[in-house]
Amino acid sequence: MDFSTKLNTYIARVEQAIDGLLPAAAARPSRLHEAMRYGMQAGGKRLRPVLLLAAADLRGNPLHDPVAAAIAVECIHTYSLLHDDLPCMDNDDMRRGRPTAHIQYDEATALLAGDALLTHAFLLLATHYSADPELSRSLVRELAAAAGSEQLIGGQMEDLLAEKKVDATGEQLEYIHLNKTAAMIRVSLVMGGMCGGLLSESELDALRELGRELGHAFQVVDDILDSTADSATLGKTAGKDAKSGKTTYVRLYGIDGARRHAETHTQAALAALAQLPGDTTFLRELIASMLDRQK
């Protein structure tokens, strides 16, 4: 199967599972469940669940069906976007080419839909992997750590603090993006590896290294896209970071310097991938495609 057919197959699996694994829209209170689905079904690249499914497939047939874990990471990612878009944070009106959840519904509903998605992620892990309590515990522990105060939420907090200064350093920027961006990418790969039976410490370490480097490259490319795109193509408040005085890789290193950073981290991600067993072709092409992505 060629790369784009395989990618579309993974994405279709994710879309179908989102529909099946979220509470029904009609379940009471339907406004909340509709808002959860509105956030989750808005499209998006599905990078994190696809990484999880692909890591689970590295050795061939995964030991455990990874799809519930893939939806759990997308639930956390979507909750973080819903909350990030709120007026008390980034105050964005558009996301993935549509009005953000607090514009479509209202602030309280968007906040609660984010809360509910965060909680639902752990319900999925606790229920779908209960036949293997050790795996279930490991998945919960990995995801809770990645989404918690020392990674995703910590990165967001530092980002909000850094926004108040125009002279954030490269070291601060690195901390923010390793936690705000790379943590969820890294944990997706690790959880996929666990479902697929990659359990040796060296294999999990290679997945962590891959996730960290890919996350880094992904964020630098995001900064480049943000600095150059217009809002029609990005479907969000483009150029906002560039205009706000927020420190970005482009601001610190210029477009060419940022591009070199992205290439270096992509090469490092590919080197980590080369340490892993099994068929790495799809992941190799996915990593390379992230460098040239347009959204």
Distance CA 289, CA 69 (A): 24
Q: Which residue lies nearest ligand GRG, judged by its C-beta? A: 44
Q: How far is the CB of 101 from ligand GRG (least distance, A)?
A: 13
Which range in 43-51, 121-129, 203-211, 267-275 contacts ligand GRG by CB under 6 A? 43-51
Angle, in degrees to the nearest 10, between helices 47-56 and 183-196: 30
99 DSSP β-pair partners: 94
Among 180, 186, 246, 265, binds ligand GRG (CB under 6 A): 180
Distance CA 90, CA 136 (A): 34
247 binds ligand GRG (CB under 6 A): no
Which range in 1-9, 12-20, 77-85, 99-107 contacts ligand GRG by CB under 6 A? 77-85
Amino acid at residue number 272: A
**Closer to ligand GRG at the Cβ: 117 or 207?**
117
**Closer to ligand GRG at the Cβ: 137 or 293?**
293
> Total residues at the site for ligand GRG (CB under 6 A)?
14
**Closer to ligand GRG at the Cβ: 135 or 168?**
168
Tell me the CB-side half-sphere exposure of residue 240, using CA atoms within 13 A.
Answer: 14
Among 136, 179, 181, 237, binds ligand GRG (CB under 6 A): 181
**Positions 93 through 112 that interact with ligand GRG (CB under 6 A):** 96
**Positions 44 through 63 that interact with ligand GRG (CB under 6 A):** 44-45, 47
The burial class, CB within 10 Å (0-12 / 13-18 / 19+), for 264 is: middle
Cα angle 60, 265, 248; round to 5:
130
Among 36, 80, 186, 249, binds ligand GRG (CB under 6 A): 80
Contacts 24+ apart (CB under 8 A), 278-285: 278/57, 278/58, 278/59, 278/60, 279/57, 279/58, 279/60, 280/58, 281/3, 282/3, 282/6, 282/7, 282/54, 282/57, 283/51, 283/54, 283/55, 283/58, 283/210, 285/3
Quick note: the x/- pattern for ligand GRG over 200-229, rule CB under 6 A, is: ----------------------x-------
Q: How far is the CB of 84 from ligand GRG (least distance, A)?
A: 4
User: Contact residues for ligand GRG (CB under 6 A)?
Assistant: 44-45, 47, 80-81, 83-84, 96, 152-153, 156, 180-181, 222
